[in-house]
Structure 1
Amino acid sequence: MFNDAWNQVYCGPAPDPVDLWASWNLDPILLTCLGLLAFVIARKRNGAWAMLALVLAFVSPLCALSSALFSARVVHHILLVAVAAPHIASILPRHRSGSATIAFVVSTVVLWAWHLPMAYDAALSHVGVYWLMQMTLLGSAIWFWREVFAPERSAVEAISLTVGAFAQMGMLGAILTFAPQSLYAAHFMAPYAWGLTPLQDQQLGGLLMWVPAGIPYAVLAVSLARRNWIALRAGNVT
């Protein structure tokens, strides 16, 4: 009865290891939406990277695995906020810069709020709440990265915002890593099939937020520094 309650997550019930590679999500509505988005952005610079991240997150077996493992859900979220979102933000029409601080605070609050146990478990037990989680995570991250990439933004400020975004994710990861007990009822049983206790799975997820998640942020920081260097050479920055 308890396990059935958690099988209502959008990505389907938690798969066993032997079934993972057959667990592709072929939801026709999702595929249609992704196809339309690909038609709009895939041929633009960075558009293909955004589409790849979204396909990995929602279509590949990672979607089903994230029903089983919190650590897989962390990878899913990293793909959204640190890969898909900045690439989508970079190809949107340019706009006048707004408050990067507000965008940073909102995106941070959204990320942390969805990792509160009650909110997280609700998202993994109700399809509507699940998509609210995905859209708010992706949407707030796109807003944040648009502000980071705003043409008027200085390189120092843009890089500082990028470092800050990784720091707040790393802090959340550290809290989850050192928590004395598992926090998420949605992953109360499934990790055992993967050779992990729920607490070990949560610790692994925290470590992924804390260390490997720094890779896409580092790439973005280097890209921002390179953009500024090119602008300096062209005489566009004083």
Structure 2
Amino acid sequence: MRQGADPYCGPAPLPEDLASSWNFDPLLIAVFAGVAAACMMMSRERRIAALKSPAALAGWAVLLAAFVSPLCALASALFSARVFHHVLLVALAAPLFALAFPPRATLRRVPVSGLVLIHAICMWVWHTPGPYAFALDSTAAYWMMEASLFLSAFLLWQAVLDRRNHAGAALAALLATVIQMGMLGALLTFAARPLFDHHMTTTLPYGLTPLDDQQLAGLLMWIPASMSYLAAAALLAARMLETHPHPTQSTRPT
């Protein structure tokens, strides 16, 4: 695979061509439509509350933005765009779908700590040079990366948003995920040299050196990616306080 060529999103576009670089892959659209139809049928069977439907619609909108909009093509040029693309998948689309589709009983048997570990492995593996280069060698490898990132995040979000799970374990899982993503982001931000050969010749048209692009990617992984996890952790902490209020003195000493 030559530099700047993505097996799915295509060659890195120049800035003046970016606005027209939409991805109307008929197979992708057909798959999205088929999965959406299956989700709608599943929703009826499981009688998911109508108020949760907007979460699924918002999740589909995020996936369309990630794969159909020019962001897909921009990710061929900029590693930071690729990281932003992945942030959309794991920190926005995944929790939205998890809100719409709670876990089945069989998945509730998987410990939350195991899901944290699986998701962390996926994040670290696909954002290191060797596996990242492998993911851009073929369309199959590319979709292996995308699917593993999204599915591992989706299962983790299902677990932490499930009220049947212990709130303390869910809170610990969210904070552990924030820490590991922050560490990965910090390593990318403070690396002394660019690490990803794929983007060595594609960033300059956008006014960035490869190292600038990598540092921006690290900051995206470090800070914005953590926001949804921290927001969920804050809501969980508030729920724990409501469930177990701090004991107060009912009488005053005389």
Letter in 2 for 1:113: V
Distance in 2, Cα, partners of 1:225 & 1:88:
22
Q: Match of 1:159? A: 171
Q: Mark the structure with the bigger radius of gyration.
A: 2
Q: Match of 1:36? A: 34
Distance in 1, Cα, partners of 2:57 & 2:230:
20
Q: Match of 2:149? A: 137
Aligned-residue identity in percent = 42
Contact 1:82 1:216 in 2 (8 A): yes
Contact 1:97 1:150 in 2 (8 A): no
Contact 1:7 1:125 in 2 (8 A): no
Contact 1:171 1:210 in 2 (8 A): yes
Distance in 1, Cα, partners of 2:15 & 2:197:
20
**SS across alignment from 1:213:** helix
Q: Match of 2:196? A: 184
User: What is the alpha-carbon root mean square deviation over aligned residues?
Assistant: 2.2
Letter in 1 for 2:92: V
Alpha-carbon deviation of 1:87? 1.7
TM-score in terms of structure 1 length? 0.88
Distance in 1, Cα, partners of 2:222 & 2:21:
28
Distance in 1, Cα, partners of 2:243 & 2:19:
46
Distance in 2, Cα, partners of 1:29 & 1:2:
24
Number of positions where the alignment pairs a residue of Structure 1 with one of Structure 2: 231
Q: Which residues of 2 match residues 33-182 of structure 1 at below 5 A?
A: 33-39=31-37, 40-41=39-40, 44-94=53-103, 95=105, 96-182=108-194
Letter in 1 for 2:75: S
Alpha-carbon deviation of 1:15? 0.7
Distance in 2, Cα, partners of 1:30 & 1:220:
31
Distance in 2, Cα, partners of 1:66 & 1:201:
11
* Structure 1 spans left out of the alignment, 5+ residues: 234-238
Distance in 2, Cα, partners of 1:196 & 1:25:
24
